[in-house]
Chains A and B, each alone.
Chain A
Amino acid sequence: MTIKKISKKDMVKLLADWGLDSTVLIPSRDEGVIEMAEWDGKDISFLEWYRNTVIPPKSSFLPPMEEMFTFQKNGNGYSIEVSAEQRKRIIFGIRPCDAKAIAILDKVFMDSCEDPYYVSKRKNTMLIGLGCNKPYDSCFCTSSGLSPTESADVDLMFTDIGDDFLIEEITDEGEELLATAGAVKKASQADVASLKKARAAVEGMVTRKVDTKNIIEKLQASFGDSDYWEKAADKCISCGVCTLLCPTCYCFDICDELTKKHGARYRGWDSCGFSIYTKMPMENPREEKWRRVRQKVCHKYEFFPMNYGVIACTGCGRCIRSCPVNWDITHVLGSVPVEQPIKNR
């Protein structure tokens, strides 16, 4: 793999080049809420303030709400028009944790089944990673086996080494993106040395740790320990902040909006934290809060790894940063009882 570099001063030019045949999304701030949004073609001040988004980049593939199709009454029948997103997009600045999260979503929406709404967006979108400079105190990506500065889940990976960015070409498509970009040069030996130095420094800034060794077995053993889970869940207020803002949570709800002659079907984010999430006509298997909290933790750290071979938590820390009551998953994982008899499922 060749490593290339670009001066930060030339970033506007590079993004503008990419913008010629793609929509470029960059970290943007609206009333203090950071999310990936369409670039205005000029402003790259995010390079100064950006640490990570509040709204996870999953929203570009699995939006909070999207139209699936519209329908119209014609005589005795209906005609249906399926909504499709076909724009070519480039997301610049995705963090390694969030790029990993997209790779995790791919397993669900592309590998195990093909979800047309997800696939059409995903296939038309390039991910350009940007290594962290300053992880939050809530970040714990290194405990999920990730690095704040390296990623294999992007097309190109940018690392800040001062006045320049070093660029690793991860995929062929990424390489093609750089082939015609004028301002991009080949990196020198000295540049590569500073890349390693920059990486080691940032890695050391991720101080929050959680021991995920044997976590599947630990969670299996504690599954019936209702006392533990009740205590772990006691301060949770059952809102959807942690799950909706989680970059890997993918539950959705579907609903129709109808008028007399036409209507639309939508889908959007749902959360296993809501008490009606599992409500059925006769019963609700997760009516009690502790069962929902347990579900959230076990889905990420037990069920998902059993089904897909990877923990569905990337340590981005959003659930800790945004939680109204400071419910901290790292503390809960750290206190799962090691051996408990199964008494109440």
Chain B
Amino acid sequence: MEQELRKEAKKLLEDGKVDYIVGFAAGTLKFSTTPLITRDKEEVASLVINPFIVNNLAKFLTQLPGRVGIVAKGCDSRSIVSLIQDNQVTRDNLVIIGVPCSGLIDMVKVEKLVDRDRDEIDNIAIKGETVAVVISKETMELPIEKVLFDNCLDCKHPSAQEYDTFIGEPNDTICVRGTGEDKIKELEGMTSEERWEFWRTQFSRCIKCYACRQACPACFCERCFVEESEPKWVLPLPKWQDNLIFQVIRNIHVAGRCTDCGACERVCPVNIPLRSLTKKMCGLVSEMFSYEAGMDKNAPPLMTAYEYEEAKDLIR
């Protein structure tokens, strides 16, 4: 599959169909990948596809000039569609190279299960419904639903939804394992006092690095509201109440744009379960508007459209 991808990417550059290729290359740490943004047709030989391609590459589209060939998993492709809906990128300037995805491996979960750090593990391989983790010649078999990212466990669209060429075969049924909302259900079961205490503790760890916002393709504002000083909506420093308010407002801003790619939660250096907010918000969007983000490039962005029937439930 990788060979096919490299060939396709090289051809796109050679034929002058794109100015840039955006994909993944191997990272400099074990079980890591890194975004590859290149104009060099030789460099595309380092493109990879594996269960560690964790970034949502749609993020890079708004900063690249010219025509871009982009490698897209299901969630990336939906973020791209969402950006097209919002007029942030032009479909004609894109060549979307769809890739299938069987779920990505959450190294935090693996580290916890095997009680070792990433760099102490020798090999990780998906074999059907189990994941074989090798540490000093000993193999541990973990059930796949214990090691995939929560959002992958809920994923209904693992393959690119919008694409020009597809590498391999699209698969649209494999991912859903139904346990990706366990954390949210747990939170829903709490009293409001318990829930408040939970988020107080979580947001007390926040250091305001804004990695969540910076990794999110739906956060494309040139100037984020937290950077406004007149009026100052929230403190620029990490006071927990302000950290919480920042996330709540961010969630409202990305409603109808968030594709549950999980990038925000994944990049958080202090492990705040941000997806418990975004996924809950996606659920509300679906419930209230029967809308799923990034599925139709011709649809108007959710929050700019208004249906008369909505008034009954929403405006009271």
Contact = CB atoms under 8 A, between A and B. Distances in A.
A325 interface: yes
A237 B215 contact: yes
A65 B29 contact: no
A209 to B, nearest CB: 13
Interface in B239-271: 239, 266-267, 269-271
B219 to A, nearest CB: 10
A320 interface: yes
B90 interface: no
B209 A271 contact: yes
B209 A240 contact: yes
Contacts of A31: 202, 205, 270-271
Contact of A325 (B34, B120, B209, B239): B34
B35 interface: yes
B235 A255 contact: yes
A244 B207 contact: yes
Interface stretch (A16-24, A69-77, A261-269): A261-269
Contact of B211 (A253, A266, A324): A324
Nearest to B37: A234
A107 interface: no
A180 interface: no
B183 interface: no
Contact of B29 (A244, A257, A320): A320
Interface string B228-246: 0000100111110000000
Interface residues of A, number: 43
Contacts of A326: 27-29, 32-34
B227 A276 contact: yes
Contacts of A328: 27-28, 34
Contacts of B207: 55, 64, 240, 244-245, 269
B269 A331 contact: no
B117 interface: yes
Given A51-B117, A331-B28, A241 B227 contact: no
Contacts of B29: 137-138, 320-321, 326
A45 B202 CA distance: 23
B210 interface: yes
Given A253-B236, A326-B29, A239 B209 contact: yes
B33 A257 contact: no
Contacts of A241: 209, 211, 267, 269
B73 interface: no
A341 interface: no
A65 B227 contact: no
Q: Which one of B37, B266, B270 has the greatest number of beta carbons of chain A within 10 Å?
A: B270
Nearest to B210: A239
Nearest to A331: B28
A268 B237 contact: yes
Interface centre among B35, B211, B227 (most CB of A within 10 A): B211
Give the most central of A136, A234, A276: most B CB within 10 Å. A234
A241 to B, nearest CB: 5
Interface in A223-266: 234-235, 237-241, 244-245, 253, 255, 257, 266
B269 A322 contact: yes
Interface of A: 30-33, 51, 54-55, 64-65, 134, 136-138, 234-235, 237-241, 244-245, 253, 255, 257, 266-269, 271, 274, 276, 289, 320-322, 324-328, 330-331
Given A33-B269, A326-B34, 6 more contacts: A55-B270, A137-B30, A239-B213, A244-B207, A328-B28, A330-B28
13 contacts: A32-B112, A32-B271, A33-B270, A51-B117, A54-B270, A134-B120, A136-B119, A237-B59, A245-B269, A266-B235, A268-B237, A324-B267, A326-B28
**Which 7 residue pairs of A and B lie closest in terms of their CB atoms, listed nearest first?**
A324-B267, A268-B237, A239-B211, A240-B209, A326-B34, A137-B119, A239-B214
